[in-house]
Amino acid sequence: MTSAIRPRLLILHQMPSQFIRPLERVFDLDYKDTSVPVTREQILSRIRANPPDAMLFPGGIKIDKEVLSTAGDKLKMLATFSVGYNHIDLKECQKRGISIGYTPGVLTNGVADLGVALLLATSRRISEAMKKARNGEWGKSSDIMWMCGKPLANSTIGIVGLGQIGLAIARRLQAFSIQQILYSGTREKQFDSEDDKKLFKFVQFEKLLNQSDFVIIACALNEKTENMFNKQAFEQMKNDAILINIARGGIVDQEALYDALKKGQIQAAGLDVTTPEPLPLDHPLLTLENCTIFPHIGSADESARHQMAQVCVDNLLNFFSGKPMVHQLKIDNL
Ligand code: NAP
């Protein structure tokens, strides 16, 4: 391609050079090889200075009406480095005829591993335990119940959103001798094996809350799931239930969660995602021993991140050479 007809690509996060090189060959890149996060103002000013044909960005960057209208008619494609797409104004993209590439599937294992790690860290009070090993509290109690946590064996697991990640977490938890998996969502799933038919039970959200020992949020954030975990939801959960959120912060009303944890309405929570991100250092949830918080590292395993980057690159290259993307988000009937 000659430089005159090269499409312009704005990249809003840092990536290893092996993923930048194939893009460089085709696109006129606006890319800064730095790990310093870009601010909203910088994004808008880079778009104004050089309106892009395409943008590549992570799930933490909001692509709303202002960003899209600043980019104007030149923008034809968005490549999000995520499986979630709640950060993109889909209706505005549909109106403007903008195509969206995303990265489902390739991060499922990484997020499921982390989901289990977060569940165990929360139920076995790992961050509290590590602190005690360092601060001299180890050996100061003769109580046989010191630092006890909640066991997984024989427990009922509730999964809100049995999609790719929810199911991959369920499969991992089967190794812990759990008793039953309840799940809620928009529709019942079909299972082939008799064992699965016995293990998985589709239930209403309220029943899942009433009966689960561990509740795992693995659904998409959308109009129906936003603040789904509110005061009423926590009131319906068991007092010794543990809540895990590996999906999106917006699904949980954090003030209600704080109250529920503080009052002992639920036993503990483990969050990989919060609102906002990063969570401000003076946020009340960070003061609670029974709240384990990870800095949104669900997909942060090398293989997942490399595969996500490759899917983004292929989505971009395919789209601009007139081929179907590897994963294109369907936004025809919103
Ligand atoms: P997926 O396969 O598309 O699954 C999405 C799930 O959301 C589906 O099971 C769907 O249920 C459920 N859902 C949608 N609307 C719902 C509603 N109203 N009530 C209950 N469930 C509802 O996506 P995935 O790959 O498993 O990813 C799931 C989510 O995880 C993503 O949307 C993303 O936000 C989050 N995520 C987080 C990280 C991280 O780093 N922590 C990484 C990747 C993804 P049905 O099947 O019943 O329709």
Distance CA 301, CA 308 (A): 11
Q: Is the CB of 219 under 6 A from ligand 1?
A: yes
In terms of domains, do 268 and 146 share one? yes
| 202 token code pair | 């589709």
In terms of domains, do 219 and 153 share one? yes
Active site residue 296: yes
Looking at residue 238, its pLDDT comes to: 98
What is the DSSP-derived secondary structure letter of residue 105? Answer: S
Please say if the pLDDT value at position 1 is more than 80.
no
pTM of the model: 0.96
Q: Tell me which residue has its CA closest to atom 1 in ligand 1.
A: 163
Looking at residue 179, its pLDDT comes to: 98
In terms of domains, do 153 and 285 share one? yes
> CATH code at 30?
3.40.50.720
* Within a domain: 3: no
| Helix extents (H) in 212-285 | 231-236, 254-263
Query: How far is the CA of 48 from the CAs of 4, 12, 45, 229, in angstroms?
Result: 19, 15, 5, 39
Cα(156) to ligand 1 centroid in Å equals: 20
* Within a domain: 1: no
User: pLDDT tens-digit profile of 25-43?
Assistant: 999 999 999 999 999 999 9
Contacts of residue 176, defined as CB under 8 A and 6 or more positions apart, other chains included, come to: 152, 153
3-state secondary structure of 11: strand
In terms of domains, do 203 and 308 share one? no
Distance CA 238, CA 180 (A): 16
In terms of domains, do 138 and 17 share one? no
Q: Is the CB of 117 under 6 A from ligand 1?
A: no
Provide the number of structural domains found in the chain.
2
User: pLDDT tens-digit profile of 283-301?
Assistant: 999 999 999 999 999 999 9
Cα(88) to ligand 1 centroid in Å equals: 15
CB of 217 within 8 A of CB of 269?
no
Q: Is the CB of 115 under 6 A from ligand 1?
A: no
Q: Is the CB of 25 under 6 A from ligand 1?
A: no
Q: Which atom of ligand 1 lies nearest, measured to the CA of 168?
A: 26
* Within a domain: 334: no
What average pLDDT does this structure show over 101-120?
98
In terms of domains, do 133 and 221 share one? yes
In terms of domains, do 162 and 254 share one? yes
Looking at residue 334, its pLDDT comes to: 77
Cα(184) to ligand 1 centroid in Å equals: 11
Distance CA 315, CA 3 (A): 21
In terms of domains, do 122 and 206 share one? yes
| Backbone φ, ψ for residue 70 (5° rounding) | -65, -40
Pairing, β 156-160 against β 180-184: parallel
* Within a domain: 230: yes
What is the band of 4 on the pLDDT scale with cuts at 50, 70, 90? low
In terms of domains, do 36 and 90 share one? yes
In terms of domains, do 122 and 62 share one? no
In terms of domains, do 241 and 130 share one? yes
Please say if the pLDDT value at position 123 is more than 90.
yes
* Within a domain: 145: yes
- The angle subtended at Cα 299 by Cα 193 and Cα 25, nearest 5°, is 115
Q: Is the CB of 217 under 6 A from ligand 1?
A: no
In terms of domains, do 135 and 186 share one? yes
Identify the domain containing residue 243 by its residue range: 108-293
| Helix extents (H) in the chain | 17-26, 40-49, 65-71, 90-96, 108-123, 126-135, 164-173, 194-199, 205-211, 231-236, 254-263, 302-320
User: pLDDT tens-digit profile of 172-190?
Assistant: 999 999 999 999 999 999 9
Mean pLDDT of the chain: 97
What average pLDDT does this structure show over 146-160?
98
Q: Is the CB of 20 under 6 A from ligand 1?
A: no
Q: Is the CB of 103 under 6 A from ligand 1?
A: no
* Within a domain: 280: yes
Q: Tell me which residue has its CA closest to atom 33 in ligand 1.
A: 84
Exactly one of 13, 283, 296, 306 is catalytic; which is it? 296
* Within a domain: 90: yes
Query: How many whole angstroms from its chain centre is CA 158?
Result: 18
Cα(104) to ligand 1 centroid in Å equals: 10
